[in-house]
Structures are given as structure tokens and as C-alpha cells.
Amino acid sequence: MLTVSQLVKDFDFKILAGQDGLDKEITDFSLKRPSAELVGFLTYLTPERIQVYGRTEMGLIQQLEPAKRRENIAQVIVERVPCVIVTRGLAVPEEIIDLANERNIPLLITHQSTTQLFYLLIRYLTNRLAPSTLVHGVLVDVYGVGVLITGESGIGKSETALELIKSGHLLVADDAVEVRRVDEENLRGNSPIRIRHLLEVRGLGIMDVTTLFGAGAVRDEKEIHLIVRLEEWKEDKFYDRLGMDSSSVREILGISIPEITVPVRPGRNLASIIEVAVMQSRLRKLDLNHFSL
């Protein structure tokens, strides 16, 4: 859940009025510049969105007749509005301040331009409010490719991640991966805060990767490009021997991600296999994976 209070903290906004509404929940990642609404066109008010007031909106308010100014603003700044943000440090009319206090709508001030704030806020809200799910696995950054390693408990996911870290790759999350759908095509993964940058290896316990390998061995989040599923070697199962079977995918939050299955048996270097799998995946995307047999 994202509240106005968290938004204020993350963007360092100044609170001018409506402090009692800081616990309001933000549910819509879109923003609203209510220019048309301020002059009476209320069809597309969308009160669940954050309202942003820049020079245009303040100019329209100043042009309203004093007798109608509060009436028009009151039709726009309604109770359901999570907060109102005024950009460029512009002077705020008393009518807006009074309504913010009366209706417990946080009135926030920033010196950023409206365009810059829109870019930063949309990106922030899209990321924070994206549909999400929790996946059991390990997420690593291998050659810039986000690899989600999955498999049964005890199969060796964390041990494989440790070998990859020792080879210079980066840990994103171990054991639990928070996966978010940030748009229609991309998934991003990160670690829950309580276990961020921690890696659990049976026999060694829980280790802090930043302490052992340095801050350059971890990253907070990564787009997921490839899923590698580890499974116990089955003698009666056919495994791809030519590297031509790339049709397997796994769907997460409605997005299909390429998935390969790697059988686990003693003596196999899983970290090296994943490195090569990543290189093959990159070659396929570049349409360079053509073999002459």
C-alpha cells in the first residue's frame, strides 16, 4: 500500500495544509492537471488521481471571478482526491488552503517544474502500484540479463547464485522474489526488504553478500528476461541436446518469459551452464543463433 505520507517522504515535498490526510492511500498511477475542471467541465474529473497544479492551473484560478472561485475549486478538490501538488513553488490561493484543511486533503509544495514532476511521479507510481506477486526462487543479474532461478527447495538455487556472485555477477534476491508487472511487456523483480542482499546456503547459514563481496555484488531490482528451472536429473526424460528448443515459456502476471530446464546431477557446473544459457539467449535475440549442422 502506498500512502501520501510515503510519497511526501520519497519526494521531500513541503506540506502546506491537510496534514490530517497524510494516511490516505494512493491507488491510481495516473496524474491529473484539472485545467478544464476548474472552468466547470467536470465530466473527466477522476477524483482518485493526484492533482497537479502548475502555472496554467494557477492562471485559470486567478481569472475566475472572486464570487465563483471557491465554488469552482470546491467542485474539483473533492474528498476523494488523495493529495494536491503545487509545482514551481507557486503562491497558493487561500481557497485551496482552506479546502485542503476542511477536507483533509494534503496540499504539497515542490519547486520542481510541472513537466519534470510529471515524469518522475509517473515513473515512481507506475513502479510502486504495479501488479505484483511473490515467486520462490533466486534472481541474479548475469551479463546484464535478469535470470530467475527456480526449482524445488534444496535443489541448489542459492549455491548456484553464490557461484555466479563469485564469478562477478550480481545478486538481486534470494529465496523470495517480489515480481512486479511494470508495463504490458516487462516484469521487474526485487527482494523483500527484510532479506535484501542476504543469501542462505545450507551448511553456511545466512550471509550478507555486501559484507563478503562488496556493494558491487548486489543490485536492488532487475528486469526479468529469462527463467532457469533446476530439476533433479531424470533418466527417462528427454533433454534438449542441440540447444534448438527455445519454445518453452512461463507466464507470470500475464507476461510470458522464456524458460529453460536444467537437470541437476553431481559434477555439473550449474553456474557455468547458466552463463552459457544467458549468452545463447542474447544471441537468439540478436538473431545470430544459426548453426550449420
Which residue numbers are catalytic? 136, 157, 175, 241
- What is the Cα–Cα distance from 17 to 99, expressed in whole angstroms? 9
Residue the block writes with cell 516487462: 186
Q: What is the DSSP string of 138-185?
A: EEEEETTEEEEEEESTTSSHHHHHHHHHHTT-EEEESSEEEEEE-SSS
Q: Which residues of 241-279 are buried (b: 16+ CB within 10 A; e: fewer)?
A: eeeeeeeeeeebeebebbbbbbbbeeeeebbebbbebbe
Residue 172 CA from chain centroid, whole number: 13
What value, to the nearest 5°, has the Cα angle with vertex 8 and ends 7 and 14? 155
- Give dist(CA 118, CA 85) in Å, integer: 11
Cell of 164: 555466479
Closest CA to 21 of 46, 50, 45, 44: 50
Distance separating alpha carbons of residues 118 and 62, to the nearest angstrom: 23
With beta carbons less than 8 A apart as the criterion, state whether 152 and 228 touch. Answer: no
Coil, helix or strand at residue 266? coil
